[in-house]
């Protein structure tokens, strides 16, 4: 079962097991985990740290397993990783060059992930995310929402005929089931649920938000046909709570931090592209960036000239009366 979970050895497991790469050296806080031995495989220690690393790699594949079962699966995964690493050593299934290349690549990747965790992710705190949230929420106003049903038909005469039926006491939902051409709402009596501005086509939106409660609208034309709209409820959409958007804010802040760090690292590095196609792409991207920068500089200079000219004109206008008075 465990062997089928991943079709190849995990990058981190290869390093920890086959190459003996020490994450404790990169992350001192994990030293205690590295000392706690859970099992041994052919003389190799399987530690709590190995299990923690396995969790970061395949944890999302394990769903909602009970904690004890989850831990057992992770331990067995690490054991099988060790067994496969041992088998590779015995059988020499890969050439030495292939194995060395793989280990070198996965070592770089593991170092990148450790740097990312320690220098980027750890630098973005929940407190900073909450401050960001509160700053944004201050300027937000609750959105108005309406809950509506509609009946969609092809022509205005059809819409007016249905409106007459409604005026004589027919049930809106039942007529929607019978006549509406909207397959998404027809079977539910034309119910659209709650929606805010910007979610519907303009003509429909304007009619829905200006309609009185429980009054059938006049026929409204959109690119889909002719609508009759019944607004059943209006409310203000509550602003999101911090807990509802916390993960999205944190992920966005981490992404921005990662971009800034990567840019800083690139600016201090010497990077030579040897592949001709990639080198050409990079040159074209750099040229576009330079052109955009020059346009921005030009716009700033033009704005400054306009401001200086305006200030000079105001000074001249202000000096005129004084000069006349002096004469």
CA pair distance 223, 113, nearest whole angstrom: 51
Radius of gyration from C-alpha coordinates of the chain = 33
Q: Are 158 and 149 in contact, with CB atoms under 8 Å apart?
A: no
Put residue 200 in one of left, alpha, beta given phi > 0 → left and psi -120 to 50 → alpha: beta
What the block records as the tokens of 12 is: 């981190």
Q: What is the pLDDT along the chain (327 residues), one digit of tens a residue?
A: 444 444 433 433 333 333 333 343 344 445 565 568 999 998 989 999 999 999 988 998 998 899 999 999 999 999 998 898 888 777 765 556 677 788 888 888 888 888 999 999 999 999 999 999 998 887 788 889 999 999 999 999 999 999 999 999 999 999 999 999 999 999 999 999 999 999 999 999 999 999 999 999 999 999 999 999 999 999 998 888 899 999 999 999 999 999 999 989 888 888 888 888 988 998 998 899 889 989 989 899 888 888 877 877 666 555 554 444 444
What the block records as the tokens of 308 is: 């200086």
Q: At what angle do helices 172-179 and 156-167 cross, to 10 degrees?
A: 150
**C-alpha atoms less than 13 angstroms from C-alpha of 136 in its C-beta half-sphere:** 13
H-run or E-run covering 176: helix 172-179
pTM of the model: 0.53
Q: Are 60 and 45 in contact, with CB atoms under 8 Å apart?
A: no
| pLDDT, position 202 | 93
CA pair distance 44, 6, nearest whole angstrom: 21
Domains of the chain: 11-123 (no CATH), 143-237 (3.10.50.40)
| pLDDT, position 113 | 87
Residues 6 or more apart from 17 whose CB is under 8 A from it? 44, 50, 78, 81, 82, 85
Residues 6 or more apart from 225 whose CB is under 8 A from it? 152, 153, 154, 155, 181
The 10s digit of each residue's pLDDT in 76-124 is 999 998 898 888 777 765 556 677 788 888 888 888 888 999 999 999 9
CA pair distance 123, 254, nearest whole angstrom: 8
| pLDDT, position 311 | 75
CA pair distance 198, 88, nearest whole angstrom: 59
Question: What DSSP assignment string belongs to 257-302?
Answer: HHHHHHHHHHHTS-----SHHHHHHHHHHHHHHHHHHHHHHHHHHH
Q: Which residue has the tokens 């959409």?
A: 237
| pLDDT, position 269 | 87
| pLDDT, position 13 | 39
| pLDDT, position 93 | 55
State the pairing for strand pair 191-196/143-153.
Answer: antiparallel
What the block records as the tokens of 169 is: 């006491």
């Amino acid at each position: 079962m465990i062997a089928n979970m991943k079709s190849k050895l995990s990058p981190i497991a290869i390093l920890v097991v086959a190459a003996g790469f020490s994450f404790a050296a990169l992350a001192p806080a994990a030293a205690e985990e590295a000392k706690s031995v859970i099992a041994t495989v052919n003389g190799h220690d399987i530690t709590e740290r190995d299990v923690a690393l396995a969790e970061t790699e395949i944890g999302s594949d394990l769903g909602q397993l009970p904690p004890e079962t989850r831990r057992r699966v992770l331990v067995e995964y690490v054991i099988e990783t060790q067994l496969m690493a041992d088998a590779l050593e015995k059988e020499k299934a890969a050439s030495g060059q292939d194995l060395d290349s793989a280990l070198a690549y996965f070592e770089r990747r593991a170092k990148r992930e450790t740097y990312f965790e320690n220098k980027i992710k750890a630098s973005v705190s929940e407190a900073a995310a909450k401050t960001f949230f509160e700053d944004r929420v201050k300027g937000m106003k609750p959105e108005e929402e309406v809950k509506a049903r509609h009946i969609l038909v092809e022509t205005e005469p059809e819409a007016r005929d249905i409106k007459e039926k409604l005026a004589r006491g027919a049930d809106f939902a039942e007529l929607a089931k019978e006549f509406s051409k909207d397959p998404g709402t027809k079977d539910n009596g034309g119910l659209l649920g709650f929606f805010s501005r910007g979610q519907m086509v303009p003509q429909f939106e304007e009619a829905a938000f200006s309609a009185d409660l429980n009054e059938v609208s006049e026929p409204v034309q959109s690119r889909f046909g002719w609508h009759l709209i019944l607004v059943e409820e209006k409310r203000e959409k509550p602003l999101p709570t911090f807990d509802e958007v916390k993960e999205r804010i944190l992920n966005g802040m981490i992404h921005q931090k990662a971009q800034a760090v990567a840019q800083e690292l690139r600016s201090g590095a010497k990077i030579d592209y040897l592949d001709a196609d990639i080198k050409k792409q990079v040159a074209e991207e750099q040229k576009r960036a330079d052109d955009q920068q020059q346009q921005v500089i030009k716009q700033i200079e033009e704005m400054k000239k306009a401001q200086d000219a305006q200030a000079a004109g105001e000074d001249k206008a202000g000096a005129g009366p004084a000069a006349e008075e002096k004469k």
